[in-house]
Structure 1
Amino acid sequence: MRSWSKSVVGGAVAAAALMLAGCAGSGGDTGGENPAPSGPRELTVWLMNGSAPETLTNELHKEFEAANPGVTVKYEVQQWNGIQDKLTTALASNDAPDVIEIGNTQSPKFAAEGVLLDVSADAGSFNKDQWLSGLTGSATWDGKQYAVPFYAANRVVLYRTDMFEQAGITAPPANRTEWLAAIDKLKAKFGSDKDFQALYLPGQNWYTLLSFIWDEGGDIATQDGNAFKASLDSPQAKAGLEFYKQLVEASGTKAPKDADEQTPEQAGIYGGGKVAMFIGLPWEVATAAKSDPKLTDLTGAFPIPGKAGSAPVFQGGSNLAVPANSKDQDLAKKYLAMLSSTKYQTQFAKAGMIPGTSTDVSALEASGPVSAAMAKASANGKGVPATPGWATIEAGQNPLKDMLTAYLTGAKPIEQATADANGVLDKAFSES
């Protein structure tokens, strides 16, 4: 699942299922380690399909087994489809895997249910001083460390370099004013084509909305300890929503106002050759290039513009955790330490991902202009509220999507749209 969300899928475990998982015991709260068994040992690792490159895991497991004689890594690649039920069953059993990958928005829920091991005392050995700031909050619950950032990605503006050149745009926009000016130039050059869109922007792209809200100084919610209170009705959040509407209207987008970037798949629309820009993830270029292979070389990227420079960006991704019922917690911690080292995090960067436990993104910057733009934007990454309630929000109908559609279509004024979204969020927060 590459919409990022991995966090959408990773954060979609139902609350009832997680309550069942919580019956596994209190090992996550105590941080107690099971005694290490004697003789040959097997470390079971569950990573998700499309996460770590095979070359990385092959090298990692060879090195890990060499460093731990008598230990065999049982590596199992899991599919996103059906992972909710599989994780629930595994974490509620006495035969849990030893290391698991979980979505960053899923982590607080699992931690609060007591099915993850408290690794606070070991965080230093996981390169904590280099952790990606956008994922750090999701790996913590109630002041304790229950997960380790794995890797992430964030959205950028992907654009047709040839169209920009033909429209006389000599440099990528660095702020909102320049972005709107670029849209005007593109429309002046190509607007006679009734199918042309300077920017394809669907009405429910809430990831992009967050950039504008954060850029205005607002947020989804305010936090007091472990409690969250929705704040979409703040002047700053409303200003972000208003700019989203301004961008939709200025761009001439033909995208539906009642659907997100996957309905229809925006990369496919871009691949049709009539779109100059869209806001997406780097690997969406490859999807678009299935329609037109030339797009691989004709696509550039720049960070989402803010009022004065790049806007903050939503960072979705995955964390690593040790189940509270793992029988080999000592080995699991050694595995996390090795995987979070600069050596292996650099390999993630070379594969086009933002490393979770390393601030060195030079390898990502060197892998091409699109990856370089993502690396630049990653320095200002943020996450959704680190609360168990967020899993419920993403499992259902996200109120930010409803808010966007209601406001963009005129079904509700901004005051009512934001107030209604706040009500749904607060209900989810209070039930977590």
Structure 2
Amino acid sequence: MKAWRALAATAALSLTLAGCGGGPGASDNTLTVWLMDGSAEDALIAELNAEFEQSHPGMKVDYQVQQWNGIQDRLTTALASDDPPDVIELGNSQNPQFSAEGTLLDLTADAEALNKPQWVPALAESGAWEGKQYGVPFYAANRVVVYNKELFDKAGITQLPTNREELLGAIAKLEQTHGADPEFQSLYLPGQSWYALLSFIWDSGGELAVPEGPNYKGALDTEQARDGIAYYQQLVKESGTLAPADTDEAEPQQAEVYAKGKVAMMIALPWEVQTAAEQNPRIAEISGAFPIPSKFPGRTAPVFLGGSNLAIPAGSADAEAAKDYLKLLTSQKYQTKIAESGVVPGASQDTSALEGNPVSAAMAIASKSGKVPPAVPQWAAVEAGQNPLKDMMTAVLTGQKSIVDATMEANDKIDQLLAAKN
């Protein structure tokens, strides 16, 4: 994600945004709502908008679907304009930047009415800034271990792994049974799957960054973080994965690799099973999932909780109506519908609607240990561009650097990025 302050002055000259009208601060009885492509099913939005319009006679919802590609610039432009949308969706790691700039409405006093007691804690954290709430949790998803039931059955694995040692034990059985096949992989694990790596770092008690006064500093150069990295390295070694050490799960798409039926496990988002099924319809029938195992008995490993928040631009001409819209969307009725679409509802801790699908059910269980990176504006710069975590893992897995040297170098780069001004 790009730092956006420098773009604000020029972006308004180059983009013309739909949904503008009525002049600065003037309501035109239209509530403009920006949600992202794929975030909510059409039927849900149609019902939501109809219910809102019925309770607000004379007001219409101008619902606009936005694409993730380029959304940072579009939000920058919209929030800097005199006539922004009234409700927006933004990634939870984007939220701190816009909160810090003062371009989002302070919703602290409205939080209880927006179902705050049921918010997913990690998402709530991402929408907070300096003790105030600017973002409301919308939905989230997290990774699980997706596995091929047939390959597990043939290897005689009757109990799913519940801790790190059991996961290594399952890999050993899979390798013993199927390892003669040169295309077989007990675990497909790319070298730069840093979202998966976070689970092992956090599970070992490590952190990416920690507070230092009013700022943050990198925390990879600790024994705990290195323990998580070492376990990742062990998984790569013992699984015999054929995944590249210098790319992530998108290059190639790991779902397409899994679809071939020669991969026993992958650490993936639930919908990657459906992506695989587009190539091999049968793969959905023979796939199951379990939470990423912890090193500690009775726990599941913490997981990166990626998702979206909802916010109201500070310049909204219909802020009160926008709050009413958010009240509807965060109500149990619509949060249940969000869960039924296959994601973790952000404003409800009731995930029972996900229990019907084994992969989604595993995601729901794992989400209870969800975490997010530091909720500071500068963190977006760490994820964007040449992510130090990715470079670190490639260096370790290819033998270019020891874990100690690689973590020290990555930590220095994170320090520099976190110290930079927006």
Give TM-score, length-normalised by structure 2.
Answer: 0.94
CA distance in 1, matches of 2:173, 2:99: 50
For the residue of structure 1 that corresponds to 2:304, the secondary structure is: strand
1:252 to 236, 240, 247: 240
CA distance in 2, matches of 1:146, 1:249: 44
1:93 to 81, 86, 99: 81
1:407 alignment partner in structure 2: 396
Q: CA offset at residue 20 of structure 1?
A: 4.5
1:14 to 3, 8, 21: 3
Give TM-score, length-normalised by structure 1.
Answer: 0.92
Note if 1:390 corresponds to 2:379. yes
2:359 alignment partner in structure 1: 370
CA displacement 1:30-73 (0-9 Å, x = unmatched): xxxxx9967x6110000000001111100000000111111111
Conservation of the 8 A alpha-carbon contact between 1:354 and 1:361: yes
For residue 336 of structure 2, what is the amino acid of its counterpart? T
2:418 alignment partner in structure 1: 429
For residue 251 of structure 1, what is the amino acid of its counterpart? S
For the residue of structure 2 that corresponds to 1:305, the secondary structure is: coil
CA distance in 1, matches of 2:207, 2:8: 29
For residue 345 of structure 1, what is the amino acid of its counterpart? Q
For residue 415 of structure 1, what is the amino acid of its counterpart? V
Q: CA offset at residue 233 of structure 1?
A: 0.5
CA displacement 1:373-413 (0-9 Å, x = unmatched): 00010100000111101111222111110111111111111
CA distance in 1, matches of 2:224, 2:10: 38
CA distance in 1, matches of 2:8, 2:396: 36
Conservation of the 8 A alpha-carbon contact between 1:22 and 1:114: no
CA distance in 1, matches of 2:343, 2:265: 22
For the residue of structure 2 that corresponds to 1:208, the secondary structure is: helix
CA displacement 1:172-224 (0-9 Å, x = unmatched): 11111111110011111111101110000000011111100111111101124
Note if 1:69 corresponds to 2:57. yes
For residue 334 of structure 2, what is the amino acid of its counterpart? Y
CA displacement 1:279-304 (0-9 Å, x = unmatched): 00010011111221110100000000
For the residue of structure 2 that corresponds to 1:162, the secondary structure is: helix
Map residues 5-404 of structure 1 onto 2, 5 A cutoff.
Answer: 12-17=1-6, 20=9, 41-224=29-212, 226-308=214-296, 309-366=299-356, 368-404=357-393
Q: 1:22 to 1:329 in 2, by over 3 A?
A: farther
> How many residue pairs align between the two structures?
409
Conservation of the 8 A alpha-carbon contact between 1:139 and 1:145: yes
For residue 69 of structure 2, what is the amino acid of its counterpart? N
Long gaps (5+) in structure 2: 13-23
CA distance in 1, matches of 2:7, 2:405: 33
Q: 1:386 to 1:19 in 2, by over 3 A?
A: farther
Conservation of the 8 A alpha-carbon contact between 2:292 and 2:300: yes
CA distance in 1, matches of 2:220, 2:343: 31
CA distance in 1, matches of 2:83, 2:213: 34
Conservation of the 8 A alpha-carbon contact between 1:407 and 1:413: yes
Which runs of 4 or more aligned residues in structure 1 lie more than 6 Å from their structure 2 counterparts after TM superposition? 35-38
For the residue of structure 1 that corresponds to 2:281, the secondary structure is: coil
2:21 alignment partner in structure 1: none
Conservation of the 8 A alpha-carbon contact between 1:22 and 1:113: no
Conservation of the 8 A alpha-carbon contact between 2:114 and 2:331: yes
For the residue of structure 2 that corresponds to 1:273, the secondary structure is: coil
1:420 alignment partner in structure 2: 409
CA distance in 1, matches of 2:337, 2:131: 31
For residue 330 of structure 2, what is the amino acid of its counterpart? S
Conservation of the 8 A alpha-carbon contact between 1:100 and 1:320: yes
Provide the identity percentage.
58
CA distance in 2, matches of 1:229, 1:250: 33
2:16 alignment partner in structure 1: none
Conservation of the 8 A alpha-carbon contact between 2:91 and 2:307: yes
CA displacement 1:105-154 (0-9 Å, x = unmatched): 00001111111111111111111111112211110011111110110000
Q: CA offset at residue 250 of structure 1?
A: 0.8
For the residue of structure 1 that corresponds to 2:307, the secondary structure is: strand
Conservation of the 8 A alpha-carbon contact between 1:100 and 1:321: yes
Conservation of the 8 A alpha-carbon contact between 1:211 and 1:313: yes
Q: 1:422 to 1:48 in 2, by over 3 A?
A: same
CA distance in 2, matches of 1:20, 1:355: 36
Conservation of the 8 A alpha-carbon contact between 1:15 and 1:392: no
Q: CA offset at residue 21 of structure 1?
A: 9.4
Q: CA offset at residue 22 of structure 1?
A: 12
Long gaps (5+) in structure 1: 1-11, 24-34
For residue 357 of structure 1, what is the amino acid of its counterpart? A
For residue 395 of structure 1, what is the amino acid of its counterpart? A
For residue 406 of structure 1, what is the amino acid of its counterpart? A
CA distance in 2, matches of 1:343, 1:295: 33
Q: 1:240 to 1:22 in 2, by over 3 A?
A: farther
Conservation of the 8 A alpha-carbon contact between 2:25 and 2:83: no
